[in-house]
Amino acid sequence: MSELRQNLVTRDWVIIATERAKRPDEFTQHNKPVTQSPAYQPHCAFCLGNEDASEVELFRLGDRHQWKVRSVLNKFPALSPVGESDIKVEGIYRSMNGFGIHEVVIEHPCHNITTGILDINDVADILRAYRQRYGEIRQDPRIKTITIFKNHGERAGTSLEHPHSQIAATPVVPPQIRNRIAEAIQFIDDTGECLFCRTLKDELAASTRVVVESEHFVAFIPYAALSAFHTWIFPRRHTSSFDDINDAEILDLAYTLKTVLAKLYYGLHNPDYNYTIRSLPTNEQSTDYFHWYIAIVPRLSYTAGFELGSGMYINTVTPEDSAEFLRHVQIPKSPVCTNEVEG
């Protein structure tokens, strides 16, 4: 019989559809090519040597033509850094101008590589770029929320192959973040505990849904995961805002994030996925109730009518089976990108 589970962090109810359960290896995308392009594309604005084709550069790690990571303004931004964030109210209608910040983080000079097969130090460089930009953006008093996210593959919403992620900063706090904060406050009021710390404690005790443990982080499949292989990475240290991450944690998170994405890459043959860093709104740096974390969502199924109509999701593989499958995926040595610019 199927089972309904509730995620206390999100309050989502999920149907674990054991009646139509799939084995984890059935999600492997056998026909999807792993490498689709050469390491360098002369017409790619993000490739080494094409820096002048990018929009305004905001951050660079390394020399101008021998860089490791760059952050630039999005050429087609959803938000503009010009203007104010005043709310206009006309009857029941509310609006604001499109103020905000929308950046692209170019993660590596190599065109056809992805996070799961990068060297750990390269992944750490990406995280350092995130921290640097997060800390700078939050200084703008008009900004209320900073969202760091990656879309990998067409089903995840990207049209560009070169490895990149994005940072979007808005003058409002989205309802999803507000709801998580409200649930966290309610939990600590009721129990005296941080909901996230308690979740981490219980997942470690259960161990059946843990995928990777490191000194500072734990990656696990939530008890009520919305979809197959949906993974969270929690810091062991209680910390509310992503930019509070220290240097030792950066390197350790690079190991954990790379390991999870490598297990997805090799175990499921490079699936499309999204990840996002969920962090406290910028008006606070630290609280006793909120805990920043990373959510990784492989795009292995489609949202259909039931999900849209009810707000509930159907997961056809148990979180325990997803975690066991990923734990047993072997990661070979990562390939090397030479980053050579072709003449």
- Mean pLDDT for the chain? 90
Which strands, in side-by-side order, build the sheet including 57-63? 57-63, 66-73, 101-106, 164-170, 145-152, 273-278, 293-298, 231-235, 217-220, 210-213
| Mean pLDDT within 158-167 | 92
Q: Where along the chain do its domains lie?
A: 3-327
Instruction: For domain 3-327, give the CATH number.
Output: 3.30.428.10
- CB-based contact 126:115 (threshold 8 Å): yes
CB-based contact 69:51 (threshold 8 Å): no
Is 60 exceeded by the pLDDT of residue 10?
Answer: yes
The helix/strand/coil state of 126 is helix
In terms of Cβ atoms closer than 10 Å to its own Cβ (0-12, 13-18, 19+), residue 255 is middle
- The verdict on whether 164 is a catalytic residue reads yes
Band the pLDDT of 18: cuts 50, 70, 90. confident
Catalytic residue, chosen from 152, 162, 164, 216, is 164
Mean pLDDT within 71-82: 90
- Least confident stretch, 16-20, 176-180, 236-240, 250-254: 16-20
Q: What's residue 84's pLDDT?
A: 78
